[in-house]
Amino acid sequence: MLSGHGALVCLSSSFMSESLIDLTNPNELLSGVMLNAYPDSMGANVKDLVSILEGSSMAHAFSQLYLLPTFFNSDLDRGFSIIDYDLNQDLVNRRDLDQLKQAGITLKLDIVLNHLSVASPQFKDLLRHGAKSKFKDFFIDWNVFWEGKGSKDHRGVIVPEQRYLDHLFMRKPGLPVLKVPFDQGDDRYYWNTFYQQVSLSPSIIDDLKHRRAANHDLCTRLFNDLTQAVLGHEDLTKIDLTGYAINHDALVSLVRKHVSFLGQMDVNAQSPEVWVFYQDTLNKLQEYGCKILRLDAFAYLHKEMGQTNFFNKPGTWHYLDRLKTMAEQNNLWVLPEIHAEYGQHLHDQVAAQGYGIYDFFLPGLVIHTIENADHTPLLKWATEIIDKKFKVVNMLGCHDGIPVLDLKGKEIDGHFHKGLLSDPQIDRLVDLILTRGGRIKNLFGPDGSKISYYQVNATYYSALGADDQKLLLARAIQLFMPGLPQIWYLDLFAGENDHQAADRAGKEGHKEINRTNLSVAEINKRLETEVVQKQLKMIRFRNTANAFKGVLELPSTYHNTLHMIWRNGDECAEFKADLLTHAFTIKSSENGRFQDIV
């Protein structure tokens, strides 16, 4: 059990006005605690969320807020398929942003660098005007990119030569393309690294019947054939129309009328228009009150034949430096988002260039620490953060999933670089979360075969076996680790896996398992529970205590005992945990006088 219920001593407040935050000093910007949520995760909109944050139960617990990109206008992947960066008026308005500013809460927002929605003004203009569009080079025509470097398959898609395919890094099975119909009547394939959603409306059956193409049963059969062809980007002129009173030209025209498609279309960073768009976007985000700029999917932005098209070098560095310069002009601190094996040491390279990094290693390490009663890998990573002076944002749960690829080792040029966990340790971690209801996300090769696991989707509470004490211990570990703690709203409220939501979302819906929206009434109910109250007590302490602006000490202990101390002058915060029993204490001191926090 937790020991002690001593009164929280607010040693000082980081809940300060925005004007006092010095962006030239990342240590100041990365102090406090950050809440992470969708605009409608806690209540119906940001107005509800702000009211909850200002309520007595959560007052002063958070000094920063990361709102996910349904904040903007979007249509797919719960916000990460951006239509434009105007405010989504259904969820947020300027009054809400003014209220956050008055409360002294700093905003973190995304710019999704690699892609835009097919519904974006830029892509719609391209579809309408084709080669005459101002944005004709804004996106990447797959066949134009690979022209002369491969051969077309039966669909008309260029399959790059094997020497290029062998290097390509894929996020989904098959080639990363989406067939899109231009207004001029032709179809083209555009680069689409992430999600797409293509569907054929059953209303085409009525049109076929109206044209007297066939009877109802035959029209239904044709609809099923067409659906499979559309989903597979097949050539509709190859469909057998024997027995139907319709030709292929008329059929293609009819399908165009009834097909709908969504997709996150990769942008062409060699286009000047893309950089004009980035600059306009950063201007908007700065006006909204953003201080920390998360660069989503930036490592996929640079495309080059013969490279992986994931963190191509030196091209990615050139783009990153250019974006950093633009961000600094808008008083924004850049936080690149990147998932890669620890053994690849990309995190070292990014940090060495002066950027902050995400601690995607912590979620798996904390579960390993608790379930195996062994702090060895965790403290190895904590020591590395301290020794290398990394500026990190850490987390347990998030909108994506629990990273596992990140913990792995990596073979580079014939030499194996160890991971933070071994492959057998990671396998046991994955299996454990899956037995507790999690779902796996994998990476694939160009032929559709699995090449690696990527992440496990689950709420952090469920990943810990829905055990209150384990969740409290995990939260305490996170709060005492170096960096800015980012708290996923659903884990704060001890949310469990939502399998029904994941099932409703279809084959790409695994992430919905950890994205359940909570009503104001549900939140008020959960705020009364002990596991939530004790988390908030720890979070408030971490958010306001000056000790955490000092240095972290890691006294030597047995592997099943964890001891961490933050010191800043005569103030300190001390955490001790028995990893076998999961019991822990947190104490604070000022002028040598200790008080129990939990």
CB 273 within 8 A of CB 125: no
Give the integer Cα–Cα distance in Å for 55 and 51.
6
- The values of phi and psi at residue 222, to 5°, are -65, -40
Q: Which of 77, 110, 337, 574 is catalytic?
A: 337
User: Cα(84)–Cα(120) distance, rounded to whole angstroms?
Assistant: 6
- Cα 547 to Cα 571: distance, rounded to the nearest angstrom: 5
The conformation of residue 437, written as its DSSP 8-state character, comes to T
Query: Cα Rg for the chain, rounded, in angstroms?
Result: 26
Task: Show the tokens assigned to 274.
Answer: 């893309």
In the chain, how long is the greatest CA-to-CA distance?
Answer: 91
Active site residue 491: no
Of 48, 84, 296, 359, the active-site residue reads 296
Closest CA to 390 of 325, 324, 455, 346: 346
Distance CA 543, CA 31 (A): 7
Q: Which two tokens stand for residue 349?
A: 């390279």
Tokens of 345: 């040491």
Instruction: Specify whether 296 is catalytic.
Output: yes
Sign of the Cα torsion 491, 49, 114, 392 reads negative
Residue type at 242?
T
- Asked whether the CA dihedral 478, 484, 488, 493 is positive or negative, the reply is positive
* Cβ count within 10 A of residue 18: 15
Contact 590, 570 (CB under 8 A): yes
Tokens of 394: 């850490």
| Whether the bond into 403 is cis, omega within 30 of 0 | no
Q: How many residues does the chain have?
A: 598
Let me know: does 409 contact 419? Beta carbons within 8 Å.
Answer: yes
What is the C-alpha separation between 53 and 64, in angstroms, rounded? 11
CB 453 within 8 A of CB 444: no
The string over 261-286, giving b where at least 16 C-beta atoms fall within 10 Å of a residue's C-beta and e elsewhere, is bbbbbbbbbebeebeebbeebbebbb
Q: Which pair of structure tokens corresponds to residue 53?
A: 């944050």
| Sole residue written with tokens 């398929």 | 81
CA distances from 236 to 29, 229, 232, 244 (A): 55, 7, 10, 14
Query: Which amino acid, 429?
Result: L
Active site residues: 296, 337
